[in-house]
C-alpha cells in the first residue's frame, strides 16, 4: 500500500514571556539537520521552543556553504509544512530543486518549522505520545500556539520582521495566525502555496469518500487519537474505503488531483521520511471545514461550544482582520483538487489586500513542493516577490 503513504504525504500538506528555547547540543534521535541538511553540504543547527500549552517543537536554521564562510545571514524566512508532512518536505529533492536549499543559496536566513506530533517535534512537558491528551489539538492550535511561537522566536533572534512561507495546511495556519495583530506585526510578507481557508469545493474522490463515510468517527470508534498512516490499522481502513467505491489505481490523484511534475521515481526515498503523524481531532476539524464550508474554530457541538466559546457555534476566523498593508503572494494550480480554484477565489474576495498571484493550470497539490521544475515555475517568482521588499529590512 505504498501509494497510500505517498498520497497521505500530499494531502493538504504566540508570543510568550515564559518561552523556553535553546540550541540542541548533539543529535536528537530524529534530526532533520543530520538526515538531510548536513549530507547536502549545508550548515544546520537544531533549535527547540516550548509553546504556551507545553509542546516542545523543533526548528532548524539552514545556511548555504557561502553563508557559512561569511557568517552573514539575509532576511529570515520560515517554511511551514502541510498536513502529514514535516520540515523535511522542503529538502527531499536535490539542492537545485528543493525550496529550502534554494532560499539558502539566495542568501535567506532559512528556518524550518515542525508542528507538534511530527517526528521532529515529538514532545510535551507533561504528556507522552501514548497519552490521548497529547493529541488533543487541531490546526487552530497549530496556528495560535505553534506557528505564533515560531514567529516570535525568529523575530526575537533576528530583531526584524520575517518572511513566512506556507504550503497547504501551513497556509490554513498562516491565515488564522495572521488574523492576530501580535503575529501579523512580526511578519514582513507571506508567500502561500496552495492557499486554503475554505474547503467546501474539494473534489478529490477519495477525500470525498472519507468525509462521506466519516473516517474521522471510524478512527475514534477504534480508540485512536492519532492518525499515523505507518500503522497497519489505518492503511487497511483507508484501503477498504477504496474497494468497490473509488478507483484508487492512481492513489495520488484520488487524494490530490493530478500532479504534472512529481518525480515518481523517488517514491521509495520520499517514504523514508513521509508521512508524519497528526491528530484525529485535526482531521475532524478539516472535515468540518469541508462539510460546513466555514473557516472557523473547532466545533465541539452545542453544549461544549457554549462552555468553550460562550456561543453555540464556533467563532470564525475573519480574513478581513489580516492587515491590508501585509504583502502577500499566492501560488495555486488548476489541477489541485484540494485547494480548489473556487475556494481560492473566495479567499481572495475576503482578504482586504490584493495578493500577487501565480496560477499554473497544470499544477497539482504536490507539485508546489516536489515538482522537478518548481524552481523555474514557482520559486523564482516567490524570491522576486521577497526581494522586492528587501528595502524595508536589512539585507
The string of pLDDT tens digits covering residues 1-46 is 444 444 444 443 333 333 343 333 333 456 999 999 999 999 999 9
Average pLDDT over residues 155-178: 97
| DSSP bridge partners of 80 | 166
Beta carbons of 341 and 332 less than 8 angstroms apart: yes
Pairing of strands 56-63, 162-167: unpaired
Give domain limits for the chain. 32-391
Average pLDDT over residues 64-76: 77
pLDDT at 83 over 90: yes
Using a pLDDT cut of 90, give the percent of the chain over it. Answer: 75
pLDDT tier for residue 310 given thresholds of 50, 70 and 90? very high
- Backbone region of residue 194 per phi and psi (left: phi > 0; alpha: psi in -120 to 50; beta: other values): left
Burial of 12 (0-12, 13-18, 19+ CB in 10 A): buried
The CATH number of the domain covering residues in 32-391: 3.40.50.1820
Contacts (Cβ under 8 Å, ≥6 apart) of 55: 116, 121, 123, 124, 145, 146
CA–CA distance, 359 with 366 (Å, rounded to integer): 15
Of 53-62, 83-92, 311-320, 386-395, the poorest mean pLDDT is in 386-395
**Furthest C-alpha separation in the chain:** 60
pLDDT at 271 over 90: no
pLDDT at 218 over 60: yes
pLDDT tier for residue 268 given thresholds of 50, 70 and 90? confident
Q: In the chain, what is the straight-line distance between the N-terminal and C-terminal CA atoms, in Å?
A: 47
Q: Which active-site residues does the annotation give?
A: 168, 336, 365
Alpha helical stretches, state H, the chain: 2-10, 32, 65-70, 99-105, 139-141, 148-158, 169-178, 181-184, 205-212, 215-221, 232-242, 251-256, 267-270, 280-292, 302-309, 341-350, 367-370, 374, 380-387
- 3-state class (DSSP) for residue 216: helix
Amino acid at each position: 500500500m505504498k501509494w497510500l503513504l505517498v498520497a497521505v504525504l500530499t494531502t493538504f500538506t504566540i508570543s510568550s514571556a515564559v518561552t523556553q528555547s535553546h540550541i540542541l547540543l548533539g543529535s536528537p534521535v530524529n534530526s532533520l539537520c543530520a538526515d538531510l541538511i548536513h549530507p547536502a553540504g549545508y550548515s544546520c543547527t537544531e533549535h527547540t521552543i516550548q509553546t504556551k500549552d507545553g509542546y516542545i517543537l523543533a526548528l532548524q536554521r539552514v545556511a548555504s556553504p557561502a553563508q557559512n564562510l561569511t557568517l552573514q545571514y539575509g532576511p529570515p524566512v520560515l517554511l511551514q509544512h502541510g498536513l502529514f508532512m514535516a520540515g523535511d518536505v522542503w529538502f527531499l529533492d536535490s539542492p537545485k530543486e528543493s525550496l529550502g536549499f534554494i532560499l539558502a543559496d539566495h542568501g535567506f536566513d532559512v528556518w524550518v518549522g515542525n508542528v507538534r506530533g511530527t517526528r521532529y517535534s515529538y514532545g510535551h512537558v507533561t504528556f507522552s505520545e501514548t497519552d490521548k491528551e497529547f493529541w488533543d489539538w487541531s490546526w487552530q492550535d497549530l496556528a495560535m500556539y505553534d506557528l505564533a511561537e515560531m514567529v516570535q522566536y525568529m523575530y526575537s533572534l533576528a530583531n526584524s520582521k520575517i518572511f513566512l512561507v506556507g504550503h497547504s495546511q501551513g497556509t490554513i495556519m498562516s491565515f488564522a495566525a495572521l488574523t492576530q495583530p501580535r503575529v501579523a506585526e512580526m511578519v514582513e510578507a507571506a508567500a502561500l502555496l496552495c492557499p486554503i481557508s475554505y474547503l467546501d469545493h474539494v473534489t478529490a474522490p477519495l477525500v470525498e469518500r472519507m468525509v462521506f463515510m466519516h473516517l474521522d468517527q471510524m478512527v475514534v470508534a477504534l480508540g485512536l487519537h492519532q492518525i499515523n498512516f505507518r500503522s497497519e490499522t489505518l492503511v487497511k481502513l483507508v484501503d477498504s474505503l477504496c474497494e468497490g467505491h473509488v478507483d484508487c489505481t492512481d492513489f495520488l490523484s484520488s487524494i490530490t488531483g493530478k500532479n504534472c511534475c512529481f518525480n515518481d521515481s523517488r517514491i521509495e526515498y520520499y517514504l523514508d521520511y513521509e508521512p508524519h503523524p497528526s491528530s484525529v481531532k485535526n482531521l475532524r476539524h478539516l472535515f468540518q471545514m469541508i462539510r460546513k464550508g466555514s473557516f472557523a474554530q473547532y466545533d465541539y457541538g452545542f453544549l461544549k461550544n457554549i462552555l468553550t466559546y460562550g456561543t453555540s457555534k464556533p467563532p470564525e476566523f475573519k480574513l478581513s482582520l489580516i492587515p491590508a498593508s501585509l504583502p502577500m503572494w499566492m501560488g495555486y494550480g488548476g489541477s489541485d483538487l484540494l485547494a480548489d480554484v473556487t475556494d481560492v477565489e473566495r479567499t481572495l474576495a475576503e482578504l482586504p489586500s490584493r495578493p500577487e498571484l501565480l496560477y499554473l493550470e497544470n499544477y497539482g497539490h504536490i507539485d508546489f513542493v516536489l515538482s522537478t521544475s518548481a524552481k523555474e515555475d514557482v520559486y523564482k517568482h516567490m524570491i522576486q516577490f521577497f526581494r522586492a521588499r528587501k528595502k524595508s529590512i536589512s539585507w
